[in-house]
Structures are given as structure tokens and as C-alpha cells.
Amino acid sequence: MKYDAIILGAGLSGLAAGIRLACFDKKVCIVEKHVEIGGLNSFYQMKDRWFDVGLHAMTNYSPKGVRSSPLGKLLKQLRFKHEDFQLCQQKESEISFPGVSLRFSNDFELFRQEISEKFPNQIDGFDQLTQRIRDHDDLSLKSGFLSSRSVLAEYLTEPKLAEMLFCPLMFYGNPQADDMDFTQFTIMFKAIFLEGFAKPLGGMRHILKLMVDKYKSYGGELRLGRAVKSLNLSSEEVNSVTLSKGEELQAETVISSIGYAETMRLCAPEKFPEDSLQDGEISFVESQYVLNVQPSEIGYDKSIVFFNTKDEFSYRKPKEMVDLASGIVCCANNFDYPKEQEGLIRFTFLANPDLWFGLSRTEYKEAKSYWQKKTLEAVVGFLPDFRDSVVFLDTFTPKTIKKFTGHANGAVYGSPVKIRDGKTPVKNLFICGTDQGFLGIIGATLSGVTVANIYGLKASY
Amino acid sequence: MTRDDVRNAVIGILTDIAPDEDFDALKDEEKLRDQFDLDSMDFLDIVMELRKRYNIEVPEADYEQLVTMTSCIDYLQPLLKNQQMAS
């Protein structure tokens, strides 16, 4: 038996691609290395609590009825209703730099007001930049790099404002160090400032369950705990996929969400030169603190804070194991939930994957607890001290990310080189997900939809 | 299928594609795209659903025949006349 499509990876993009193909009666099988679904954006259970990983919040919030937005497109393509996602909007977030902070919410006007108050001579440039972003075709499947730093310099004369804009946009979706591709910048600017944050009630677990149920309802097959050992090529086509236990599946088309370099390295017998495969190196450490109080009770009411304690914002692999100078604090409770949730604060810092991978087991444990303490100290520097209220704590590192995403270096946003049209040198092998270049939860999902439509359903748009 | 059946069949597809929309107010002579904010992804879905439910292929050159409800019925009814409504 031959599948119409085999999809590698049961994360958001793989599941979305699977739903599209299965919906139109294609014979589809998703193979997932882990026994849990989700990949980068997933969930886990510990001591009877469910935690999200990857997701701080969903970006790209748009209200019910808006169908042309990324969220609207995704809902209709996957045949979900807006209320299925149970989205709870953020209250208010902030970008915090030395001496100045900018508040923002799902109402873009607040952010604009903040900029006009704090950078009065920049607001005209900012408005023009916003217009350029609105007009930019970020769904284009053409590749090519345009430096966001150089574009921003055309509109903003105050470098600090540019740094403040970069901070959340890079943290939430930049696979490369220091600069950012302008199309990527545009995607993230729209996703975060023009649209905004929301969290699904029930977390990633809820979203992923919706997707898996829908995929299975269309007859899609899902194999968990099956790593792919090789993609077997002959005359520039992939004919079959060999799974870790030796099983071989035939396929017309293969769509891989596991990363471009990671995919090409599985091809056999042909090898693709390593210098054509570029791994990312932007990775993070993150801790989740469960509290026995509501953060608002101890005076903390922000949804997400992107902070930077130095004048310049440095977004690159740090020299030390963790870069304490900047980070993200996400407080799950400060979203508009219909009922109170247990107190939860999460914070995230840039980390150096090489240094984490080089450790022995004992050293790793020690480093984890050392940096747990250090990051906590850095955060209570500007958050109310919540240390007496902690009832549970868990931390993940680049090593954890690598284990669960399979991304080389634990690079959260994958390779700095994106393959926008999803094509590879192999005729019937396509890339979706992180390395196709639409990042974030909505982006990843739309990526799966787009790649499935074009290469699986042969849409011509 | 009668013209009414074809109309109902198209409404059935649209309802699945855009569950948040209300198609009761649909005007047959006006462009679907303008009334319901349908984009190229939606038209792909209409075509895919026609193939799935009624086993008819709409070649790309004929997509423009699906612009209004009336033009949909004009184009689809001859293709569907020997078929029953899909449940």
C-alpha cells in the first residue's frame, strides 16, 4: 500500500498539513518520534499539573468574524469555529528597558500612544514604518534577505526605540542573531503589535487535542513513538520512509516538519553536503513557577514583559551559559480567563546550547540549579518578590528543547535560512513548519496548511 | 438535481467552509467573494469539496464560473443533473 502523503512530525504544522490532506480523502500518515504530540509547542504533566512548553501565549489574536487575518484563515481552512480555540485575551504587556517602558495590548492604539508620549519625535517615522509593514506582503513564498535594521534606520532616528521594537519580535520569532529578515519582522510585528496575544483555555493540550481529533475524524493515521531512520531516494525522488524499527512505508509525497537540515540528513543513499545545511543556534532556558497566590494579589498585573537591562539589546548566542541581561516574563494568570487559574509565572532567557550540551550528567544538574537561582534573582529585581509563594518549579534548557523538538542545537526557531516555498532538492519532498519560515503557533499551523494545499492538493495560488 | 438542489448543495459546502457565516442572507446575483470575504483558499475548498462530494472536477480555467451563486448553479447543474444530494 502506498500513502498519498507521509508527514514527519506531529506538531502544529504537521497536524495542520495532515488535516488538510485527510479532509480531501488523501491517504495520510503522520509519523512522530515522541509518544506525545506537539513538538516545539507541546505540554506535559508533572505532579498532576499540566504545563505548556513553547507557548507563552498565542500571537495573532483576531476577534471572531475576521476571516482575512492569519487566525481567521487558519480557522476556516481547518474548519474550526473561533470559539473552539477558547481564546482568552491578554490584559496588558510591556517592553521594559532602562529608564523607559512601552505598554501594549490587543488595541494597537495603546502602543502608538505610548510611543508618541515617550518618543515624541519618532511617532511620524513610526507611523510610516507601520504603514510599510501593513503594505508588506509577508505571505509571499519568495525567499531573500532584507535587513530589518537597515529598514528601521530609514524611519527611526532613535536607536533605543528600534531596539525596543526588536526585543519582543526577536524573542518570539527570530532564528538568527543580531539582525532579522524584514519579512520575518513584518510577520512578527503584525502578530504581536497589530494583532496581539491570547491564551487558549486548557493550553496547548486543548489546541493539539482539537487538531488530532479532527485529523483522525477525516481518517488520518498517526503513529507515535516512530522516529524516521531514513528517507529513501532514487532518481531524485523519495520513494519510501524507513522507521526506526525497520518498517518501510511507501509514499507519493513526503512533507517534513522536522527542520530543513534535519530532514536532508535523513536522505539516503544520496547525501547532501553539510555546507548547504545551516543549523540555528538561538536557544533558551525557561523556568515555570507555580505559586500559591494570584500574581495580581502580590501586585503583578502584566501579561507578558519583555525586559532588557542594558542600553543595547543583544540577541545572539551568549558567551555564558545564560544571558541574564534580557528575557521574557509571562504570567498566565494575567489573561482574561473566565475563571481563576493557579498562579503561574514563567520566564525565559537566551542560552548557549554548546555550553549546555558539553556537560556531564552531574554537571548538567548543578548548572540547571545554579541558573535557576540566577534567573530567579534577575527577575525578582523588577517583579514583586514571589519567592515565598512558590509551590512548584520546573526548568528546561537547550538540551530539553533538542530532546523534544529534534532541532539541532536546541534551536527553538530552527535554521536562520528559511525555505519559504517549502521546496527541497528532492522533487516530492517538502518542508513545512519552523524552517518554512512562518513562526509562532498560528504561523506554524498556516505553514502546514499552505504546504499541503500547494503540494498535496496542487492548488495554484 | 434541480437548480434548487444545486443551490442547496453549494450552500452546504459554504457552510462547512465558513461555519461562522450566515448564508441565509445570500444574494444569488452578487459575487460570493464580496458578500462573504472569500479568498483563493476558500475557492480551492469549494472546488475540493465538489470533487469529494459529487466527484466532479472543476478545471482551473472554469473557476471564474463560480463567482456568484447564479453562475455556480448555471455551471454546476448540467454536471450534477444525474446526481442526488450528498447527505
Of A358, A376, A401, the residue that ends a domain is A401
In the predicted model, what is the mean pLDDT of chain B?
89
CATH number at residue A271: 3.50.50.60
Contact A457 B48 (CB under 8 A): yes
The residue segments making up the domain with residue B65 are 3-80
Let me know if residue B34 belongs to a domain.
Answer: yes
Let me know if residue B68 belongs to a domain.
Answer: yes
In the predicted model, what is the mean pLDDT of chain A?
93
Q: Report the gap between the CA of A215 and the closest CA in chain B (Å).
A: 16
Instruction: Determine the pLDDT at residue A460.
Output: 54
Let me know if residue B75 belongs to a domain.
Answer: yes
Confidence of residue A458 (pLDDT cuts 50, 70, 90): confident
Chain A residues within 8 A of B18 when measuring between CB atoms: 67, 76
* A295 & A396 share domain: yes
pLDDT digits (tens, 9 = 90+) for A400-457: 999 888 888 889 889 988 899 999 999 999 999 999 988 788 989 999 999 999 999 9
* A252 & A296 share domain: no
Of A373, A401, A429, the residue that ends a domain is A401
Let me know if residue B87 belongs to a domain.
Answer: no
Q: What is the mean pLDDT of residues A339-353?
A: 94
Let me know if residue B46 belongs to a domain.
Answer: yes
Per the structure, the count of domains in chain A is 3
* A48 & A133 share domain: no
Q: What is the ipTM of this complex?
A: 0.85
Chain B residues within 8 A of A453 when measuring between CB atoms: 41, 44
Instruction: Determine the pLDDT at residue A381.
Output: 80
For residues A306 and A236, the model is more confident at: A306
* A289 & A359 share domain: yes
* A38 & A22 share domain: yes
Let me know if residue A88 belongs to a domain.
Answer: no
Residue A332 CA to residue A344 CA, distance in Å, equals: 6
Contact A76 B44 (CB under 8 A): no
List all residues of chain B from 54 to 73 with a beta carbon under 8 Å from chain A. 60
Q: Suggest the residue from B13, B23, B38, B44 to mutate for an interface test with chain A (most A CBs closer than 10 A).
A: B44
Peptide bond into A200 cis (omega under 30): no
* A49 & A190 share domain: no
Let me know if residue B39 belongs to a domain.
Answer: yes
Within 13 Å and on the Cβ side, how many CA atoms surround A169?
A: 25
Q: What number of other Cβ atoms are within 10 A of residue A46's Cβ?
A: 11
Instruction: Determine the pLDDT at residue A144.
Output: 79
Residue A107 CA to residue A96 CA, distance in Å, equals: 19
Q: What is the mean pLDDT of residues B18-25?
A: 84
pLDDT digits (tens, 9 = 90+) for A190-241: 999 999 999 999 999 999 999 999 999 999 999 999 999 999 999 889 999 9
Per the structure, the count of domains in chain B is 1
Let me know if residue A91 belongs to a domain.
Answer: no
Let me know if residue A46 belongs to a domain.
Answer: yes
Strands in A309-441 per DSSP E: 326-331, 343-351, 390-396, 429-431
* A285 & A392 share domain: yes
Let me know if residue B24 belongs to a domain.
Answer: yes
Residue in this structure with the C-alpha cell 504581536, named with its chain if needed: A192
Let me know if residue A59 belongs to a domain.
Answer: yes
* A75 & A209 share domain: yes
The residue segments making up the domain with residue A161 are 101-195
B4 touches chain A (CB under 8 A): no
Chain B residues within 8 A of A457 when measuring between CB atoms: 44, 48
Q: What is the pTM of this model?
A: 0.93
Let me know if residue A248 belongs to a domain.
Answer: yes
| Sequence-distant (≥ 6) Cβ neighbours of residue A44 within 8 angstroms | A36, A50, A51, A53
CATH number at residue B70: 1.10.1200.10
- Residue A66 pLDDT > 80: yes
pLDDT digits (tens, 9 = 90+) for A159-192: 999 999 999 999 999 999 999 999 989 999 999 9
Contact A68 B40 (CB under 8 A): no
Q: Which of A33, A70, A15, A31 is nearest to A189 (CA)?
A: A70
Let me know if residue A310 belongs to a domain.
Answer: yes
* A360 & A318 share domain: yes
Contact A77 B45 (CB under 8 A): yes
Let me know if residue A95 belongs to a domain.
Answer: no
A to B CB pairs, distance under 8 Å: 44
Q: What is the mean pLDDT of residues B28-49?
A: 89
